[in-house]
Chains A and B, each alone.
Chain A
């Protein structure tokens, strides 16, 4: 096996993570430019922007392995902005890491800060100063989904690479390789189902393949669909169905249950509800009213302090809709909400 340099993981996203430039699929332009930078043994700060599962972390890892060879672990720090408790923690870790000099020929170390767009504006300001303070000893590779969420002063200090969603043929190359190595058979239909469910996210595609293969090495569309439905978060539909049937208590209990067990935030729930309204078996004019109410509650959720109270208020509106009526605009607003949207 080509990738058995040292220790190999049994988790396929790791086992088959490309370890050299020539193993990467897609992103040809980016590869060319990054390779040129690495060959000069000096890189600027980099910003990798793009959707999940398109190779940002993979490329960052390849960069450090190419730069530092076997000693890459000593010269590389990986942090995830969405998990760290505030910028102070990030700074402390960066500081501890940057204190010692890089080993080997390369005069700097590399810090990979994943999901940098999770940092607030203030935190990004602080990050900018940190990047400047350690610029002689450290290079930063930042990754994010949307570069628009990264402050301009940071963008201007980095070289920005925009990762595209992988094409179907690129994901197919990867899946075919893994299937061959693991002795799986996967039909064209099955691959189509897998690609559909992955939404172009290569990590998700590989995870789905491994989960499916854990049941049978003969991967069929049915099997993939079974896994997909098993792995889907619990549905908000049942919350709405209880409400429309007039059972407020069951509806709110189910709601709390979903939020807690699947670790879903109120704002994600309300997005799912908004999408589900048009699938409900109710009059179209009611759907319009309910969507309007959902919009109002989504706004209040941002302004208010308790997400659950806001959602309860929304499902109480669905209970009314189930009785064939819903508060008309005048009445909803008469309870003091007249200028809600004027708050900003």
Chain B
């Protein structure tokens, strides 16, 4: 269909003939051959015979334009002959000067600029986080003091989605945690004839540490991420701006219900994880000849109510942290779909790191 023929004309000119249709799919070899011809003949005039050129799409037009815009001496100009007027209009619609500079790509800053900018960003960000924490604190206090109206409908919706719909996965993880710890420690304890004390270990570990911790990690992955994505998308769609321009506080409208829902729901989920973890452990202990009743009595001896309460308090703090991080990351989302993804990832990672750190602090002060 399309071909380019190159042959000498007159004494020193070079002739390039373009035939048929030049489209995005067929232009590559023609373009390459034509540019090579131009490069091989830097000081001879080039005649492009377009009399048999039937059609050129945007790529074909760009090809023709590329050939005539070349910077060559006056005696070696490129000239297109017999180009159909409809194509000529499109080729000559452009000004070569507009395309003289190379295409600009993304701008990458130098290392010092990058470090400086990142430092400034972190400083600004720390101030932003402090602001956010302060505002949340004020809102929460006013909400619990009954001085602001809390939209309990929203709280209930969020609690249902974050809590009730998360029950199956929390149950599964709790159960498996109980099974795994009981089994692993049971195998070791059996060698010393101390299988009964596995109940102490499992009860202590589940109620104080693993119940709240595993629930919080599941909650961070499930709900913290969802909070960041929801609020982030609302930010991208300018819904957050709309709330602000009504003179309302996004913290009150978007963040407060989520904080309250998380504080209520994570402890409840933790109770379920505890119960199912202990049940899983009790099932495993059957294999080590320890029955349910024996398990129950040993458990009551090993753990106290304060262990359980400590776990529940931890869970509430974890819930608050996860919800706050998720909402904060959502509200600081930039523009575009990519930034929603970044916020979501960052919400989960930050939440999990903070949960572990807070857990460490609890361990130090509650020995």
Same complex for A and B? Answer no
Q: Which residues of A contact B (CB under 8 A)?
A: none
